[in-house]
Structure 1
Amino acid sequence: MDLVDRLTGMISEKDEDSVVTCCNEIFLKYAGVKSFDDILGHTDYDFPWQNFADVYRAHEKDALIGNNYSTFYPVKDCHGNNRLFMHTKVQKLSPDGKILGVKCHATEILNPQTANLIQVLSNYAPKKQKSFSIGKKFKNLTLPPQQQEVLFFLLRGKTSKQIAKIMQLSPRTIEFYMLILKEKFNCQTKQALIERAIDQGFIEMIPEYKIAKYLLEQLKTQ
């Protein structure tokens, strides 16, 4: 058995045009094919999950430029079932450091609590949003953990007082973080901050250390 088939989850490698160059048996299973020849040379637009191919392609473009992060989004299997996966994609490099493509790893989320969290997040997201990311870099704009958390709840309709209660901080502290966020996003008002953060993709950001029951409970609390 090849090393790639010893790893858990869906494994594949793609070239710079997102064409599959190799994969493991689990990838074949979800694609509904028996032969590697039916996979190699194809893209996600040729597989059962073609409706999500644009999302996958965007993730791979980020990986090609070294923006490595994990993302939650569904995979439609050969039976038409949507399964929730956490995807991680990184550069594939030659021995001399040349970028050859991307390495892709997807682990199915079977924990009901995590799956419920993603469902709750979806209820707070724009209709076209299909994914949520952990650790993604946004145009060289880095936010410390507490600023990430404030923005996360702000983009989901929480007021400063509600955020203060959730984070167990004073409203004045939250307003201070809001001021810093406005400066970083070059905005004068809270509404402008929200609009600019959404435009730049921050709506898909999940605070890296908050994938837990905590978020699920707090988002359900109005």
Structure 2
Amino acid sequence: MPENPSEPRHYDVVLGGKTPPPLTGAVLGGLAGVKQRLRSTVAEHRIAALMEAPHYGEAGLDLIIQALDDKAEQVRDTACILLQGKLAKLTLLKKDVATWNKWRAHSIRLEEGINVDLSAVNLSGFNLSGFNFSSANLMGANLSGANLRGADLKGANLSEANLSGADLTQTNLTFAGFWNADLRQANLTEANLTQADLRRANLGGAIMADGTVHDE
């Protein structure tokens, strides 16, 4: 039988001090307990709550993402570090560009997440316009038909990635690597390809930066 994420678990804290709580007393645990402690005025209590939040799946990840706006820097830093996993990054990507870029700004300041690992992820058809993917590892990622208009892919590893039909208009692709990437029918109009490595990339039918169409 699947666990109820809102129920207290063995790692939750029980409400009480030196005096044992009454039989009808509340248990400071479960997802509700995490939410309660995140409303604490003490930053250390909010950090402790965040450390438990990953145990509660997407609901917990949402709480961590919200903590990127916490008034205390140490709480924001904790949230940033807790969002390093691939599942957490995919949850961030599904939010919006502002949320993702906010996390990237925090992570780069902390020297965490500079080489964001999104290798082999399926982002086909996603709206990723304006997203900051600088220095990201997107090797083997499926970005077919994705909207990457105006995105920052400077220094990204796009080797073996599927970018067929993707919109890369005005995208920053400086120093990006496209070894064996599929760029068929991609739109690269006004993209910055300075020192991008397009060796062995399949550019059949792609609209290049200058507006010309690459031969099939």
TM-score range with shorter-chain normalisation?
under 0.3
* Structure whose residues are more often strand by fraction: 1
Q: Which has the larger radius of gyration?
A: 2
Q: Which has the higher contact order (CA 8 A, sep 6+)?
A: 1
